[in-house]
Structure 1
Amino acid sequence: MSELVRIVLDHHPIQSAPEEVSIWRNRTFRTVFASYSLSLLGNTFHSIALNLWVLQTTGSAKLMSLVLITHLVVSMLFGSIAGTVADRVNRRRLMVATDLFRFIIVGGIALCMALPDIPFFLILLLTAIVALAGAFRGPAFQASLIEVVGKRGVAQAVAAISVSDNLIRIAGFAAGGTAVAMFGGVFAVAIDASTFLLSGMLLLFAGRFPYAAPERQDREKTSFRTDFIEGFRVVWHNRFIRGVVALLPLVMFFFLSTFMLIQVMAVQVWQASPFVFGLLEACIPLGYVLGSIIIMKFDKRIRHRGKLALISITLMGPLFVAISWLPTAAAALPLIGLVGVLFSFSTTILFILLRVAIDPSLQGRVFGLLGTLTSIAPPVGLAVFSALSDSFGPAIIMMYSGAAMLVAGIAAYMGLRSMREYS
């Protein structure tokens, strides 16, 4: 990074915000929140635009799946490494660098798409580089959130990020598909590149994070290997952190896999109309948004948060069983929406507790490891559940999945005492 950019990054004075001030009155948070939303929009926009372009130009679903697999493999391989890097450097600088780097590389992908006879391997290689940059930005952002709002603002901030996640992903996929249909894949990917540029510029002028720890050079220096191992040691030796890191991927495994079975049931069993199917697709994100808004609104009044998260996980199991017994998609809509609310309560609250429990200097490593595990669990679950659904039908597999989730939730409630008693 040039000296000029470094001066701009470090020139802003550290802001001092009162602990009880709303996160929306925190200028740094508003700027970082806008940057995150733009970066996420770029990710979703890029994903759908590139996938549609590959499918339209090659007609090969296999090549399109290679793009998805590339993102997955890069996330799995580099999550923990990226988290360690995020704990060793200035996280804001790292996020700025990755955003500006992705702007250049995604612009290069758009150029390759515009030129004739460009080998697909080159586009796939550039896609892997974009995914690698994203893998480094993820834990840097997750770990820096507490540096922006402090511990008292974490609950509201995480809930706000959860709302943004769902709304931006829906809007990003819709906007990406529309842009490809109207203007073509090259234009869509070029627009996508601009979102990363804007995201980086917002971070560049956000000012130093109010609650950031001292610079790395002012602290005791340790080797990268030592820091890398320390991340795993912290997770392994802390019961609460170990429980959350183990539980979140398990929840993702059951939830996303079972929701896929609901989609299969809507088509094969319920024979839902396109309108009802669209409502079904919207129920989960809308329920998630509602749950996140409740947490954001009443976070100071919520007590026994660990217990609430575990109960929410447990209750999703019986709801999935009930949904598998229903005769129509319309009758399942309220229960599916409720599942979305419970999913929000469980995951959002666990992410909040994790940020409060972990020392800020270690959060990059923990969230990097968590990102790796949560990126592995859903594809494995989808592969297993889809194969079982083809053999035995979606309803019976959903019923057993709900029962297994109920058992797992009860076991977690009984066994994870440190989480159950965390308020």
Structure 2
Amino acid sequence: MLELAKNSETNASAVRQQRPGTMSIWRNRTFMFVFSSYGLSLLGNTFHSIALNLWVLQTTGSAKLMSVVLITHLVISMLFGSFAGTIADRSDRRTLMWATDLVRFVLVAAIAVLIYLPGIPFIFIVILTGIVAFAGVLRTPAFQASLFDIVGKEQLTQAASAISVADNIIRISGFALGGIAVAAFGGVFAIAIDAVTFLLSAILLLFAGKFRYAAAKDITKPKASFKQDLLDGFRYVWNDSFARAAVILLPLVMFFFLSTFMLIQVMAVQVWKAEPFVFGLMEACIPLGYVAGSILIMRFDHRLKNRGKWIIGSTILMGPLFIAIAQIPSAAIALPFILLVGFLFSFSTTIIYIVLRVVIDPALQGRVFGLLGALTSVAPPIGLAVFSTLSDLYGPAIIITISGTAMLLMGIIAYSRMKSIRQFK
């Protein structure tokens, strides 16, 4: 562990001295194949989620059964995130990624067949959905931990920012396309198309070629047990000040940001009585702001100094903006404030993901991102449940104000206590 900590410090020092690379990430053949594969895989995830949920709602009319599918995904992510990260660190990450894509192709195709056949017990679809979710949990830390080895330190900011932009665009379009496909062609067709995206993703990964990580493994060292690797991951996060701070800060940011934005939607309907056109603009403001922020991060790359202060500063500023939004009398006036919140959200999340990829030893990144993925997947649903209940009791404006105040205090505490993030250059 001492050696890994030294490697972390070496990487942290290196990122401060990095210089712009001579080759664009768009000329990196491996990155382009992996980037395209990630896009298709993410499209498959979002498409599958909305298509299956809409099919359940249309065919059964039961919100309870739809919630079973959602809870299945949540529980799988929460329970197996750290295990998945350990598996990613012990495996050839490229192989793990294309193998899980192929597994999801087969399983999602099977789900399409099952919903086509009449009289199939719903439990079978839930079981297959759980396995699909588990395969997705395995793939996520493998992808997150591979980026450093594909593009190197010099192009890491550009690559991570490009992925952030694509991530938002694909998530939005995936939900929209999934809903359109179910409405126009039915659940069977929509889920079958979803299966194809996973197959294409696996094929692109096969064309990507081997990652440098696979070639760089030290085969002279005896391989530790799975349990030892799993525990080493937890110890590393606990002992490394930056990793520990990130694992605390990011889930909290997700908790408050996503829950508060949900209440802003409630406020738009219940208080502002927003017209459909204005409501649609409001829905677009967060992703547009996020994409704009990610593009700026990618554009300025090595000229962006004091990255730690950008992370915490953007977190602090979101608090007063939420408080201001709660006092605004109409949705139209709130639009620029919501856009700015999305912009700040990109700085509080995208930069920290970039830094994590640089300061953490590549051999441990799967475990760190696996644990982080588990926590960030659990925090928003808990926040949504708590905030929606409080909103019903006291109204959305009051809860948004309280949430904004809590986020402001959280940012101030982070600036005071999380020295490893604050001082990062």
TM-score for the superposition, normalised by structure 1: 0.94
Q: Report what 1:257 is aligned to.
A: 259
Q: Report what 1:396 is aligned to.
A: 398
> Which of 142, 158, 161 does residue 159 from structure 1 map onto?
161
> Which of 205, 208, 211 does residue 210 from structure 2 map onto?
208
> Which of 111, 114, 117 does residue 115 from structure 1 map onto?
117
Structure 2, unaligned stretches of length 5 or more?
Answer: 1-19
> Which of 168, 184, 187 does residue 186 from structure 2 map onto?
184
Distance 2:172 2:378 in 1: 22
Q: Report what 1:14 is aligned to.
A: none
> Which of 259, 264, 272 does residue 270 from structure 1 map onto?
272
Task: Give the match's secondary structure for 1:152.
Answer: coil
Distance 1:149 1:180 in 2: 38
Q: Percent identity?
A: 69
Indicate yes or no: 2:344 matched with 1:342.
yes
Amino acid at match of 1:124: V
1:417 Cα deviation from its structure 2 partner: 1.2
1:356 Cα deviation from its structure 2 partner: 0.7
Indicate yes or no: 2:144 matched with 1:135.
no
1:151 Cα deviation from its structure 2 partner: 1.5
1:213 Cα deviation from its structure 2 partner: 5.1
Amino acid at match of 2:347: F
> Which of 365, 369, 380 does residue 367 from structure 1 map onto?
369
Distance 2:220 2:366 in 1: 19
1:212 Cα deviation from its structure 2 partner: 4.9
Distance 1:357 1:220 in 2: 25
Task: Give the match's secondary structure for 1:299.
Answer: helix
Task: Give the match's secondary structure for 1:247.
Answer: helix
Q: 1:13-412 counterparts in 2 under 5 A?
A: 19-210=21-212, 212=214, 214-215=216-217, 217-412=219-414
CA offset digits 1:108-150 (Å, max 9, x no partner): 0000011111000000000000000000000000001111111
Amino acid at match of 1:300: H
8 A Cα contact 1:149 1:211, kept in partner: no
8 A Cα contact 2:242 2:420, kept in partner: yes
Distance 1:133 1:216 in 2: 27
8 A Cα contact 1:149 1:210, kept in partner: no
1:219 Cα deviation from its structure 2 partner: 4.0
Distance 2:165 2:103 in 1: 27
8 A Cα contact 2:285 2:338, kept in partner: yes
RMSD over aligned Cα atoms: 1.1
1:161 Cα deviation from its structure 2 partner: 0.7
Structure 1, unaligned stretches of length 5 or more?
Answer: 1-17
Distance 1:273 1:362 in 2: 49
Task: Give the match's secondary structure for 2:130.
Answer: helix
Instruction: Pick closer, same or farther for the CA change 1:218–1:144 going to 2, 3 Å.
Output: farther
1:265 Cα deviation from its structure 2 partner: 0.5
Task: Give the match's secondary structure for 1:402.
Answer: helix
TM-score for the superposition, normalised by structure 2: 0.94
Task: Give the match's secondary structure for 2:208.
Answer: coil
After superposing on structure 2, the runs of 4+ consecutive aligned residues of structure 1 that deviate more than 2 Å are 210-220
1:317 Cα deviation from its structure 2 partner: 0.1
1:220 Cα deviation from its structure 2 partner: 3.0
Amino acid at match of 1:158: A
Task: Give the match's secondary structure for 1:205.
Answer: helix
CA offset digits 1:147-177 (Å, max 9, x no partner): 1111221111111111011000111011111
Amino acid at match of 1:109: I
User: How many pairs are equivalent?
Assistant: 406
